[in-house]
Amino acid sequence: MVWEKVLEKFQEIFGSEGEIGVYFAPGRVNMIGEHTDYNGGHVFPCALTIGTYGVARKRADKKLRFYSMNFEKLGVIESLVEGLKPEKEADWTNYPKGVIWAFGEKGMKVEQGMDLLLFGNIPNGSGLSSSASVEVLTGFILRDLFGFQVTNQDLALIGQYSENKFNGVNCGIMDQFAIAMGKKGHAIFLDTATLNYEYAPIKLEHAKIVISCSNKKRGLGDSKYNERRAECERALAQLQEAVKIDSLGELTWDAFEQYKDAIKDEICRKRAKHAVYENQRTIQAVKDLKNNDLTDFGQLMNESHVSLRDDYEVTGVELDTLVEEAWKIDGVIGSRMTGAGFGGCTVSIVKDEAVDLFIEKVGSAYRDKIGYAADFYVVEIGDGPVKLA
Ligand code: GLA
């Protein structure tokens, strides 16, 4: 069991006395609906069975002690529950610290310190939400240790708040929501304008979800994420002069075509086009899935990638190579980049009999073109956060 090893490490680093809890929060993959969650659109993510393990113990004083098995060289990082602020030289502890800070901002002041050790088996910075996983996990642990009255949906919102305000990334709600509300075997069809959601079973008879990780690292903070968001806001402000809407997600394809000339700047028009079309694709994709039309669902995934490549411009040669090589293989139902983009991962639905060939062919074409290897994960859809022991 992974968690037993993580617990052992905690005892080695922090000692074995007192009451120790062992927890897990998943990572997530988004099937379709990219860069729609800050535009009032729909998303369709699911939680994974890979994620972040956390071992924690409440302390009697106000000290925070952190240790990550993924960043062992950093050793134990210490801080205090009071006066938390983001450090310029950011390390991973900015995520749990941000959540402790955010609880305080929401009226749930953490008065005592804790020892926290983490181990993640999601590749860091890969677009599978390792940071949101740490945020939701921290919130889940705080609730358990200190008895705060918050729902899992609250944990998602607090995680997003901490990422926005403490870590300076203007992310939407998708990642934290998918992680906090995950359900085995299901994706979550979430309307980010209202937070209404529905679980949709993913029944991939004779097919698998394959994640291809480009190994091109990116941090959301230093990527163009905030810039894309600002471009969409500019487009919305100009559209609002022509049509009464609160978000781009309210527009249908037809309405967008009717009003698009109100957006003066061509770049902003392209960004808005993606947001509108991607939202409509997501709504359609969920209908297809309900009708067991996986072929159409896959086609929409492919179209999503093209739009992210050409109109939203968040792919890059690494993700494009992974996807374009995937499209060449018989047995690939659909393939697209997933997450923020600019590096990270792609998600593909691949027929069982084609999975080995997929990994071999896409892997070697990628190595030839990009000069280093990609990693492949055949993933399962798992539950939200849990206490394991
Ligand atoms: C990141 C953000 C999400 C979402 C995606 C793009 O994962 O954290 O809120 O915007 O990018 O769909």
Tell me what the mean pLDDT of segment 331-350 comes to.
96
**Ligand 1 mean position to 340 CA, how many Å?**
5
Tell me what the mean pLDDT of segment 112-125 comes to.
92
**Ligand 1 mean position to 101 CA, how many Å?**
22
| Alpha helices (H) along 291-316 | 294-310
Catalytic residue among 37, 91, 144, 175: 175
Distance between alpha carbon 135 and the CA centroid of its chain, in Å?
Answer: 11
Q: Hey, how many other C-beta atoms are within 10 angstroms of the C-beta on 237? A: 12
Q: Hey, how many other C-beta atoms are within 10 angstroms of the C-beta on 2? A: 12
What angle do helix axes 294-310 and 317-327 make, rounded to 10 degrees? Answer: 150
Determine the pLDDT at residue 85.
Answer: 87
Ligand 1 within 6 A of CB of 172: yes
Q: Where are the domains of the chain?
A: 2-202+383-387
**Ligand 1 mean position to 294 CA, how many Å?**
24
The correct answer on CATH 3.30.230.10 for the domain covering 2-202+383-387 is: yes
Tell the residue nearest (CA) to atom 11 of ligand 1: 340
Ligand 1 within 6 A of CB of 229: no
**More reliable by pLDDT, 1 or 185:** 185
Cα(380)–Cα(122) distance, integer angstroms: 13
Residues 6 or more apart from 72 whose CB is under 8 A from it? none
Determine the pLDDT at residue 218.
Answer: 66
pLDDT at 223 over 70: no
Determine the pLDDT at residue 123.
Answer: 79
Q: Is 375 a catalytic residue?
A: no
Nearest-5° Cα angle at 112, 109 to 113: 115
Kindly report whether the global pTM for this prediction surpasses the value 0.95.
Answer: yes
Ligand 1 within 6 A of CB of 278: no
